[in-house]
Structure 1
Amino acid sequence: MDTQPVPPIARHNSPGPDTWRDRLAGFDRAMADHAAQDWTGQAIFLNERYEAARAELGYWQAMARAGSALPPLTGLIMTVKACFDTDGWVSSCGSQVLQDTPPATRSAALVHTLRMAGATLLAQTNMTEFAYGALGVNTHFGTPRTPLDPTGARIAGGSSSGAAVGVARGYCDLAICSDTSGSARIPAAFCGVVGFKPGRGRYSTDGMHWLSTSFDVPGLITTSVAVCRRADHAITGSVMDSLPHPAAIRLAVPASLPDMGVDDGIRDLFNACVTAMTRVGITIEEVPLTSLADSARIAAEGRIIGTEAYALHHDHLATDFDRYDPVVATRLMNGRDNPACHYMKALRALSACRDRFDREIAGYDGFLLPTVPLWPPEVVDLRDEATYLTLNRHAFSLTEFANRLDLPSISLPVGKFPVGLMLTGRRGADNALLAMASVLEPLAATLHQPV
């Protein structure tokens, strides 16, 4: 992609906090925008409940006027990725294979928790089939496009493609998604919104359909860090950390960054972000974090994702192989012949690598990278399978570290560019990460061009 990013389209704001009238009017404008668009071949919603959602907002409005106490997320609109069970909807995982299964009779724990906290459910979002891809391509339901490309040619990223577009266009405030190698953060970066991958165990996986039992975590895509923190608090009940003074933040940049294949224009934007942060007193130093590349290599050589994905899909592959996306089916089958000793050896090696990372990051609160090293490709460029596989692997080459090492990680928008600034924290320090992200967010968001 040319190093000059495409300009953004005009975007509708999410329902505002000032009055319920504003919230309802904002919802109506957003739904009118959705109805006016041609989603042929690029669907972002697989199921929806527009009228029920508006009625629910009206109910909360009446409760507010009556002076009733309201749940903490009342007024926020949410969507759910199709790999989470939602009562009444088929959990298709973006695939024909599961399209004919019965609708879920109960919602995933995370869906239920956010609903009980007052969030209004709007829709189920499209995704890469079975979350096995970082570019958002779906040959059956269509491939969503980033709203930051007015030509409509460039992908939204994946696998949580529909989730990111829904947030970016102002149709919802938060989206439940999953993240195996970057599936919350990659589309967030390409669409100019916030994508959060928590540490393992922070959010319940009950009712989530897995790709990799070692690396999958539920995540969030939101309009802002503030909304992300509100949702996280509602889910976990943990006390929000106070925002740190910039001078108290110490961050690392991997010394291997020059060898990570980052496009020149994205590197310029990243450097501009670093400059803006150091100007306000944040300490940022180059550190040789060798465990990052080692963790990616161990997972790839041990074929951890492929082995686990094949085990989960073994029965369906035997009976419904022809209903899979051909590229997804081939990748799933590649996990069939991996020796158990290679798989187990890789898991043990990753555990040791995590311990080494903890030593390498000592003295720092986390590290910074661009979220994705390339600009969002055009859909037409992904029709060739070899090109698709190459770009797919490159797309998650920076986000995967957090999954392999079990670290909390968040992608922040950089100006109006389809680029993300990724902050990755220490294991178990999700609250601290979100607090730091609140400090970094405005510094990256106001960036207009490389300096």
Structure 2
Amino acid sequence: MRRHLQLGIKQLSASYADGSTSPKTVADIALDDAVKLKVLNSFIRLTPELALHQAKESAYRYKEKKSLSSVDGITIAVKDNFCIKNVKTTCASKMLEDFVAPYNATVYERLSKAGAVLIGKTNMDQFAMGSGTVDSVYGPTKNVWSEDLTENNWRISGGSSGGSASAVAAGICYAAIGSDTGGSTRNPASYCGIVGLKPTYGLISRNGLIPLVNSMDVPGILTRNITDCVEVLNVIAGPDEKDSTTIKKSFHKIHVPPLEKIDIRNLRIGIPKEYHCPGLSVEVLDTWKKIADILEVAGAKVSQVSLPHTAASIFVYSILNQCEVASNMARYDGIEYGHRAEDEHSTEQLYAKTRAQGFNSVVKTRILTGNYFLLKRNYEKYFEKALRVRRLIAEDFKNVFQPVDIANQVDILLTPTTLTEAPLYKDFIQQTNRDQCAVQDFCTQPANMAGIPAISLPIRLSSNGLPISLQLMSRSLGEELLFKVARWIEAQVQFDCLENKKIYEARN
């Protein structure tokens, strides 16, 4: 176990400042670990030259007492659907296997200017379409908690940001950036036993994030603890003139008070009855009840609430997702950028062959289905109706956070993140991509439909020794309250995010 891994971001930054360790040493270890843990397939590519250059510059700043921020010198990873200048950005696809981004995504630009050290680009489901990180052209990502990493006996890392979650859970980096369209940050965070934040829509710029579903996509943050997540959010959040969907008002840094000053007495916690759904494992249900009881004993007011359109949400999400996918994927035609088929004698043949070669079956299926929903004869029946139900889903959340009768108001919703522990790969692939997402995203995608913030945090280990996590949701721009409650729960359960590293080392 690397001693520095026992430190949080703030503590590591302090150790850089007092000279007890250096960004160069930490970067060297991170790159070495990434190679040693190659079997996990967390990374599509490492960026050693860039990392060592950034670490060297960070070390100089600390020496001169001119550090840029609390993340100066901190190792990070970025999902491979965020553009980084002069680095390949592939979306884990053949279509973009040779695409070199000409500019930086705003998220990475802000981290870079704050002094963060990029270890590499992480694996993902192709074009972020999936919940397992098993549909990458570079192969699937394995969960570090797996009992067996050979053949097909390992556990999935979740998706589509599974590479980012795996890298953080394995202790390779302190934080990673993912994207979250229907749970793609929280789902892998749950399976890998780390913290995963989906922020309010528009709080973090999407500029440079290759889009899946523009109306739901948000950059997400994966860390080993709540405090580290706050540090990263404070660096990357805020308006961006390059993204018209960002919230225009200035972002004020979030401050989570010391644990002893967090008071949850009279906090109103809602337990949505619709999230007690088919497929919810007994152990996840018990964990959910246990945390609700802990909160109630501590003085919080816990009550059952109803989000009546939850059951319809996954169907609405599926329709809107595929409609926007059909639109977004139209840009990949072999003309401007990306893969281009050869020896075609007409524009139509070029389009057809390029897209046939460049997309996997999951992407093709969503494009075809989305275009079917958008046909003139189907537009009102599917797309418009889905938009109307989406509004009802958003109203469900508004009715619990800001009801007409203030006596029924809640501050936080407590739910499962995923319905089970991380599935075995060999079991997971028995289902189609569509069926996988319908099950795995049941508890997560409603927050994307409503644009509200949600966070997943690990609670305990299952009887199989695998992480079980829960999700907290709050009203729009309620991140500070989410962090306070999550930090309090984190202290009560004392889940050791480093235990996975020990498990891996013991097995190998």
The two structures share one fold, judged by TM-score above 0.5:
yes
What's 2:485 paired with?
436
Residue deviations 1:36-78, cap 9 Å, x none? Answer: 2343xx5211222224323422332232222224323212211
Aligned length: 434
Letter in 1 for 2:60: A
Instruction: State which drifts further: 258-267 or 290-299.
Output: 290-299
What SS does the corresponding residue of 2:160 show, helix, strand or coil?
A: coil
What's 2:36 paired with?
36
1:324 and 1:158 mapped to 2: Cα distance?
18
What's 1:268 paired with?
286
What's 1:358 paired with?
398
Q: Does 1:373 align with 2:413?
A: no
Q: Structure 1 residues 280, 334: CA separation in 2 closer, same or farther (over 3 Å shift)? A: same
Letter in 1 for 2:77: T
What's 1:150 paired with?
147
Q: Contact (CA 8 Å) 1:310, 1:335: kept in 2 or not?
A: yes
Aligned ranges 1:239-388 → 2 under 5 Å: 239-243=253-257, 244-300=262-318, 303-316=319-332, 318=352, 319-338=354-373, 339-341=378-380, 342-362=382-402, 363-386=409-432, 388=433
What's 1:238 paired with?
252
Aligned ranges 1:21-60 → 2 under 5 Å: 21-24=20-23, 25-39=25-39, 42-60=40-58
Instruction: State which drifts further: 374-383 or 181-190.
Output: 374-383
2:470 to 421, 426, 429: 421
Q: Structure 1 residues 71, 332: CA separation in 2 closer, same or farther (over 3 Å shift)? A: same
Residue deviations 1:64-100, cap 9 Å, x none? Answer: 2222243232122111111110011122111011113
What's 2:214 paired with?
213
- CA shift, 1:226, in A, is 0.7
User: 5+ residue gaps in structure 2?
Assistant: 238-250, 334-351, 403-408, 498-508
Instruction: State which drifts further: 103-112 or 274-283.
Output: 274-283
Q: Structure 1 residues 294, 32: CA separation in 2 closer, same or farther (over 3 Å shift)? A: same
What SS does the corresponding residue of 1:290 show, helix, strand or coil?
A: coil
Q: Structure 1 residues 405, 361: CA separation in 2 closer, same or farther (over 3 Å shift)? A: same
Aligned ranges 1:42-191 → 2 under 5 Å: 42-101=40-99, 103-152=100-149, 153-191=154-192
1:197 and 1:353 mapped to 2: Cα distance?
18
1:177 and 1:221 mapped to 2: Cα distance?
7
- CA shift, 1:382, in A, is 3.5
2:456 and 2:69 mapped to 1: Cα distance?
27
Letter in 2 for 1:116: K
Q: Structure 1 residues 11, 60: CA separation in 2 closer, same or farther (over 3 Å shift)? A: closer
Residue deviations 1:163-191, cap 9 Å, x none? Answer: 00111111111111110110000000111
1:160 and 1:299 mapped to 2: Cα distance?
18
- CA shift, 1:447, in A, is 9.2
| Alignment RMSD | 2.5
Q: Structure 1 residues 350, 392: CA separation in 2 closer, same or farther (over 3 Å shift)? A: closer
What's 1:400 paired with?
445
What SS does the corresponding residue of 1:391 show, helix, strand or coil?
A: helix
Q: Structure 1 residues 241, 70: CA separation in 2 closer, same or farther (over 3 Å shift)? A: closer
Identity rate, percent: 26
Residue deviations 1:284-309, cap 9 Å, x none? Answer: 21112214334334334xx1100110
Residue deviations 1:124-166, cap 9 Å, x none? Answer: 1110000011111125201111111231201000000110011
Q: So what's the TM-score if we normalise by structure 1?
A: 0.89
1:90 and 1:183 mapped to 2: Cα distance?
22
- CA shift, 1:257, in A, is 3.4
- CA shift, 1:398, in A, is 0.6
Q: Contact (CA 8 Å) 1:96, 1:140: kept in 2 or not?
A: yes
What SS does the corresponding residue of 1:295 show, helix, strand or coil?
A: helix
What's 1:3 paired with?
none
Q: Structure 1 residues 100, 31: CA separation in 2 closer, same or farther (over 3 Å shift)? A: closer
Instruction: State which drifts further: 233-242 or 132-141.
Output: 233-242
Letter in 2 for 1:289: L
Q: Contact (CA 8 Å) 2:275, 2:416: kept in 1 or not?
A: no
Q: Contact (CA 8 Å) 1:185, 1:195: kept in 2 or not?
A: yes
User: 5+ residue gaps in structure 1?
Assistant: 1-8
1:100 and 1:54 mapped to 2: Cα distance?
24
- CA shift, 1:242, in A, is 4.8
- CA shift, 1:432, in A, is 2.2
2:268 and 2:160 mapped to 1: Cα distance?
31
